[in-house]
Chain A
Amino acid sequence: EPEVTQTPSHQVTQMGQEVILRCVPISNHLYFYWYRQILGQKVEFLVSFYNNEISEKSEIFDDQFSVERPDGSNFTLKIRSTKLEDSAMYFCASSYDRTNTEAFFGQGTRLTVV
């Protein structure tokens, strides 16, 4: 069964450092998403991406964040200068369509900023 894969599973970084979280979406999917879940809180939408550009982003997704699909298979989330409050589980998801279809999620990357 096709699946979304994320690497690494756990990343520890120092405050102020840049991190890149990687995702390989399902191969024939066209829409890609990042979500995050701070411990004990809701899963929150960060950004959606289609046709090599951001289609929607939340208030959380400020200038410190960026996304990229550098090579047609990977989908990355970069945090330029991490803050303590960026510590969370980050989920990547992909879907074939953006309406009336299921989003498939990766297993998540736990980011710990120290």
Chain B
Amino acid sequence: AQSVSQHNHHVILSEAASLELGCNYSYGGTVNLFWYVQYPGQHLQLLLKYFSGDPLVKGIKGFEAEFIKSKFSFNLRKPSVQWSDTAEYFCAVNAQGQGGKLIFGQGTELSVKP
């Protein structure tokens, strides 16, 4: 069965600090990978996605993620966070060829102090 693990439950950073949120998945086949963000009171929004090709993907708002197949990882990074990045971040996996079902990690709450 597929599973997704996010390493950090709650991360607190000061503005301008660098961010890295860990995500590991467990699945033997080919996967699509996603990071979603949920700002307070809002819906889940896609930050970025990886289907194939360049393992370093760039998303909205300066976020990027790197797919490392050998480590089953898809870590999210941002060089310099802003107060407006305060939100919950979800890593998700979709097994290719097995429908559109997403398997989510447990989420990481990011708090950025101004």
A100 to B32, CA, bound (A): 7
Q: Which 8 A-B pairs have the closest CB atoms?
A: A98-B100, A105-B44, A107-B43, A43-B104, A42-B106, A105-B43, A45-B101, A100-B51
Contact with B along A86-102 (1 / 0, CB 8 A): 00000101010111111
**Given known contacts A41-B106, A42-B107, A43-B107, A102 and B46 CB-to-CB distance under 8 angstroms:** yes
The answer to whether A103 has its CB under 8 Å from any CB of chain B is: yes
B45 to chain A, nearest CB (A): 8
Number of interface residues of B (CB under 8 A): 25
Report the separation of the CA atoms of residues A101 and B8 in the bound assembly, to the nearest whole angstrom.
27
Q: Contact flags (1/0) for A32-45 with B, using CB distance below 8 Å?
A: 01010000011111
Contact B90 A43 (CB under 8 A): yes
* Chain B residue nearest to A102 in the complex (CB): B46
> A17 an interface residue at 8 Å Cβ cutoff?
no
Q: Please give, as numbers and ranges, the residues of chain B lying within 8 Å of A99 by CB-CB distance.
A: 32, 94, 96-97, 99-100
Bound-complex Cα distance A32 to B85 (A):
29
**For B105, what are the chain A residues with a Cβ–Cβ distance below 8 Å?**
42
Q: Give A contacts to B, CB under 8 Å.
A: 3-4, 31, 33, 35, 41-45, 48, 55-56, 91, 93, 95, 97-108
* Cross-chain contact A44 with B101 (CB below 8 angstroms): no
Expressed in whole angstroms, the Cα–Cα distance for A105 and B103 within the complex equals: 14
Write 5 A-B pairs (CB below 8 A) sorted by A numbering: A56-B101, A98-B99, A99-B94, A99-B97, A99-B100
Which of B36, B94, B102 has most A Cβ within 10 Å? B102
Partner of B44, one of A31, A55, A91: A91
Name the residue of chain B whose CB is nearest to the CB of A94: B100
B70 at the binding interface (Cβ < 8 Å): no
Residues of chain A with a CB closer than 8 A to B107's CB: 42-43
Cβ-defined contact, B51 with A4, below 8 A? no
CB <8 Å contact, B101 and A33: yes
Tell whether, in the assembled complex, residue A42 and residue B101 are in contact, meaning their CB atoms are under 8 Å apart: no
